[in-house]
Amino acid sequence: MSKILGIGVDVVDVQRMKDVLEKQGKVFLDKVFSDMEVTYCKTRKKPYIHFGARFAAKEAVAKAMRTGWSGAFHWRDIEVVNDQSGAPHILLSRDVAKALDQCRVHLSLSHTDNTVVAFVVLESKK
């Protein structure tokens, strides 16, 4: 029987994400996002919303893990991808994948032009 091991939610202001990206540019992109995430977001009509959504998803995973930004958490170990229908999913790698190897990660994203919200549930695989 599976059970919920953690939940996390994060809200991002799209204008703030735009300001950070314009100020920090490539340094921030390289620290937080995978190459695939950057390519995806830059091809969207409103890229800052998509960057904000991915950032919020990563923050929500960190909150669900209850480790904050220390220990096993590394930004680029969490990648948000979309399936063919457009639904977002989390892909894990390296330390975060090891820390969550017994979990299913569920993700829900929503946004307006100004605000993005991400909600994550960690569920045991057993």
pLDDT given at position 5: 95
The number of domains in the chain is: 1
The domain that contains 23 carries what CATH number?
3.90.470.20
Enter the pTM of the model.
Answer: 0.94
Contact partners, residue 102, CB within 8 Å, separation at least 6: 124, 125, 126
Range of the domain at 49: 4-124
pLDDT given at position 70: 66
Average pLDDT over residues 1-10: 94
Going through 4-85 in order, the beta strands assigned E by DSSP cover: 4-13, 78-82
Phi/psi of residue 68, each to 5°? 65, -145
Tokens of 113: 């032009």
Of the ranges 1-10, 18-27, 70-79, which one carries the lowest mean pLDDT score?
Answer: 70-79
pLDDT in tens, 103-120: 999 999 999 999 999 999
Average pLDDT over residues 8-27: 97
Contact partners, residue 30, CB within 8 Å, separation at least 6: none
